Structure 1
Amino acid sequence: MAVDAAREEKALREVTSRLVEDYGEAHPAERVEAVVGAVRKRFEGHSVREFVPILVERIARRELDPKRGKNTAGQVELAKASDGAAASPEGPAETTSVFAAVAGRFVPVRLVENKRALGAVAAGVAVVLAAGTVLAVRHSDSPSVTSAATALTTVRGVVGSEKAAFFDDPRVAEVLAKHGLKVEVEPAGSRQIATSVDLGRFDFAFPSSSAAAERIQRQRGVSGKYVPFSSPMAIATFKPIADLLGQSGIVQTGATTTFDIEKYLQLAEKGVQWNQLDGNSTYPVSKNVLVSTTDPRTSNSAAMYLAVTAYVANDNTIVRGTKAEDYAVSRVSRLFTRQGFTESSSDGPFKDYLANGMGTVPMAWIYEAQYVDAAAHDQLKPDMVLMYPTPTVMSQHTVVPLTDKGDQIGKLLTTDPDLQRLAADHGFRPTDVTLFTKVTTAHQIPVDANLINQITPPDYDTLEHLLDGIAKSYN
């Protein structure tokens, strides 16, 4: 119950932030917060909590913008729940939009708002859960009753683990449901998606780089692809670590914090440990000074780390040809083999970073989107810092459609304005970068919007050869 309460509190904070952002020009923040608080009180004491944040947002929006509250022909409520509520002495039940969880997803239904009706809603939702459909029934202002079942088309995808939270967002499910779709995803490392996952079970693959996508396209004979959003690679660390490496000239602080890959590579090649750094009283441990990554054999984020470090190791030149590949691998392989156990996908090390502090993960190679998403949802501790490696590389999150349904998802993710906005809410940089800037500005997250110092990743075959070389180094 404590976990559910915390989840509800977090969801309501997000609701308040969205409403302040959307109605800031018409209402002061205090007014918005007061409306949310008043609406929330209507649901005190009810045991059915799953829908409360969504109900609160919908009702608050109607009160902040009365034009949104006018009933339309499409406004409906659960028939059996509303039958009992309509005769309630509390008066006619108004309706508002809410989404019921069906097979782990949220689909549109209409629920009544008064307190006596909410109890009846639980039974109605159970019917929806059993049926797996969306019910369209009686208007609140009409005695006539009609019913229809509108089935959602299920689309299955395998996605990079850093995008799982995006697809788990009820707001994303809501937008997709408006298009008649319910998306079910399985997370996996992007290189796993490209090399070992049985793609025959899915309608689309959504790895985190163009290289992994290209491999899938070659294997499946697919020509089409979509790039709905991107995210540069970054390093998550802590202020004491950034200050310590600043003394070595590796880290530079300013409007954003940068991490010099060339100076870092020189230090790592010597096998320098943390307790050997001059003036180190904050992290005096006998471990190599290394950035923690995922396993390059399974994960795209580690492959992007390899692309950046190989570029720097090759005298800041794109790696081309066997000689350059062998030379680069000889210089950077220790960055991986000295780490010990590594996770298969990017979700693991970032969760360790958030939960366990610098004792376990002093520096984690991540997608910028992971840090921005955590910052926007109040998951960061005060001493956590985002560093941009110089140079860095942009990871192009690429949808490879495997069926017509998968193609529809690729198009929607790329063109639907609501899905693009929600991608920005989860820290990704959509095609309209102003959406990303709006999120980072609202939450005061220091990011480098321009990222001038980027490399072009090596071509597909070269990256594969580099990864093969690293894999051999483990043996």
Structure 2
Amino acid sequence: MTLSRRALGGALIGAGIVGTGAYVALRDNPLLRGLTGNATELRGFVGGEKQPYLANPQVVDLLRRHGIVLHSTIAGSVEMVRQRSLIDQRPDFLWPSSSVMTEMAKMSGLSIVRDQTILNTPIVIYSWSGVVEGLVGAGLVTRTADGHYEVDTGRLIGAIASRARWQDVGVPSLYGAIRISSTDPNRSNSGFMFAGLMLSALTGSVPDAGDLDKHFATVRTVFEQMGFKSPSSGKLFDQYIAGGPGSEPMIVGYENQLVEWAQADRTRWERIQAGKGARPLLIYPRPTVYSAHPLLALTGEATALIDALLTPELQAIAWTNHGFRGPLGEQTASAPPGLAELLIPEVSATLPLPGAPVMLDLIQRLDAGT
């Protein structure tokens, strides 16, 4: 049977309509957009500790399959929600490293379409095997039955604030007063959170303005003894690894940083573990605080990025390769080989940070030195 010219034309038009409709459906569906060659380009600021994760070729590919291409720029968590030069660039999203930043972003006048915690990592203290052994011997640090290291946060703050000497806490090989390094709390989230952790630990609950007045002098003393404070958690961790126990005996960082560093070069990690030199170790403050990593979608298009990053595949990569726990603080896959014994499966001894107004007052006082 042959089709008339009119019937054939109608069939072709109908097929065109169906094809166009299918294309539009694919184009507008973020899960299928990558199949059509179309992608939404999103621009935003991220904390530097997450940039290696976003640069992971597997992550880039999976996001592309979700129809998303990211152009991310590193900025301090505090800076990205407060600094007008960054806010005025009208980013599609912000990805800071603390849930407090969501409230601070609103205080800065930002309109948030959607916010969602994507990753979590606890604040930890990095030190070295020889230093930790001395601190264990002096009773300042304890080793659990599972082989993890913990330190009473209040006792540690007290030792630093009272200018106890290293030799008094079991580490005679180090000179001078016991000290710890963190990032600048007015620029970087790990320093920001350490300041909040100290205030919460000294208070024993969620601090208010009166608690800040009461304990500020102690927090200021700890920060003053640090000297120069790095603007970036990643840079501070690099200084710690390069400087060794003499230069950086203890620093404040994120749990994920050691996992990511070890996974980046397994041969190097195994060589260090088998060697006789100083080995990097992490100590869990008890209590500590979780560094939640909320993604703030400032445009409707950026909400698709939240959904993509919460998929099981991207969550598993975040933990296995980069050490980031899931939104609830859970390990989203098996612990990396050779690291399981160093990582607490579930970090339960935590305190909430002070609210945004108290934290803002705290860092402003630290910046002013008063």
Question: What is the TM-score with the length of structure 1 in the denominator?
Answer: 0.64
Residue 277 of structure 1 deviates from its aligned partner by: 2.3
- 1:227 maps to 117
| Structure 1 residue identity aligned to 2:306 | G
Aligned residues: 322
Which position in structure 2 is the counterpart of 1:20?
none
Greater displacement, 247-256 / 177-186: 247-256
Q: Secondary structure at the match of 2:46?
A: strand
Is the 8 Å Cα contact of residues 162 and 347 (structure 1) preserved in structure 2? yes
Match of 2:19 in 1: none
Match of 1:198 among 86, 93, 101: 86
Cα distance in 2 for residues equivalent to 1:435 and 1:329: 35
Which residue, out of 23, 40, 53, partners 1:166? 53
Q: Which residue of 2 aligns with 1:243?
A: 133
2:350 corresponds in structure 1 to: 454
Specify the code of the residue in structure 2 equivalent to 1:337. Answer: E
Indicate the SS of the match to 1:208.
coil
- Where do 1:202-221 residues align within 5 Å? 202-218=91-107, 219-221=109-111
Residue number in structure 1 paired with 2:231: 344
Q: Please report how far the alpha carbon of residue 183 of structure 1 lies from its aligned counterpart in structure 2 after TM superposition.
A: 0.8
Q: What is the identity, as a one-letter code, of the residue corresponding to 2:149?
A: T
How far apart, in 2, do the equivalents of 1:246 and 1:435 lie? 27
From 148, 155, 174, the equivalent of 1:263 is: 155
Give RMSD over aligned pairs: 2.2
Q: Cα 1:435–1:313, aligned 2, differ >3 Å: closer, same or farther?
A: closer
Shift of 1:268: 1.4
Q: Secondary structure at the match of 2:114?
A: coil
For 1:267, give the aligned amino acid: A
Are residues 1:317 and 2:208 paired?
no
User: 1:299-351 CA deviation, whole Å, 9 max, x = no partner?
Assistant: 1111111111112222x232113x21111211111111121111112111111
User: Unpaired runs of 5+ in structure 2?
Assistant: 1-33, 274-278
Q: Tell me, in whole angstroms, the C-alpha distance in 2 between the residues paired with 1:182 and 1:222.
A: 21
Q: Deviation of residue 443 (structure 1)?
A: 4.5
Task: Select which of 385, 389, 394 maps to 2:281.
Answer: 385
Aligned-pair CA distance for 1:281: 3.8
Aligned to 2:43: 156
Structure 1 residues 435 and 441: alpha-carbon distance in aligned structure 2, compared to 1, 3 A threshold: farther
- Deviation for aligned residue 1:372: 1.8
Mapping 1:55-454, distance limit 5 Å: 150-196=37-83, 197-199=85-87, 200-218=89-107, 219-222=109-112, 224-254=114-144, 255=146, 256-274=148-166, 276-277=167-168, 280-283=171-174, 285-286=175-176, 288-314=177-203, 316-321=204-209, 323-377=210-264, 378=266, 380=269, 381-382=272-273, 383-414=279-310, 416-425=311-320, 426-431=322-327, 435-440=331-336, 443-454=339-350
Runs of 4+ in 1 over 6 A off after TM superposition: none
Per-residue displacement from partner, 1:149-185 (whole Å, max 9, x unpaired)? Answer: 8243321120011001001100000001112221111
SS in 2 for 1:176: helix
Q: Summarize deviations over 1:265-286 as a string: whole Å, max 9, x none.
A: 2211221232x42654432x23
Distance 1:358 1:180, change over 3 A: same
Structure 2 SS opposite 1:430:
coil
Name the counterpart of 1:11.
none
CA contact (8 A) 2:81 2:101 kept: yes
Q: Which amino acid aligns with 2:212?
A: E
User: How far apart, in 1, do the equivalents of 2:180 and 2:58 lie?
Assistant: 34
CA contact (8 A) 2:113 2:298 kept: no
Q: How many angstroms does 1:365 deviate by?
A: 0.5
CA distance in 2, matches of 1:432, 1:324: 29
Counterpart Cα distance in 1 of 2:330 and 2:289: 20
Deviation of the 1:248 alpha carbon: 3.0
Taking the aligned partners of 1:359 and 1:188, their CA distance within structure 2 comes to 29
Cα offset for 1:233?
0.5
CA distance in 2, matches of 1:343, 1:153: 35
In structure 2, what is the Cα distance between the partners aligned to 1:164 and 1:182?
A: 14
- Cα distance in 2, alignment partners of residues 344 and 220 from structure 1: 24
AA aligned to 1:293 is: S
For the 8 Å contact 1:214–1:460, the answer to whether it is kept is yes
Shift of 1:191: 0.6
Contact 2:99–2:294 (Cα < 8 Å) also in 1 = yes
Do the aligned residues in 2 keep the contact of 1:217 with 1:400 (CA within 8 Å)?
A: no
Question: Is contact 1:311–1:317 with CA below 8 Å preserved after alignment?
Answer: yes
Aligned to 2:24: none
Name structure 1 gaps, 5 residues minimum. Answer: 1-133, 137-148
Do the aligned partners of 1:193 and 1:207 also contact (CA within 8 Å) in 2?
Answer: yes
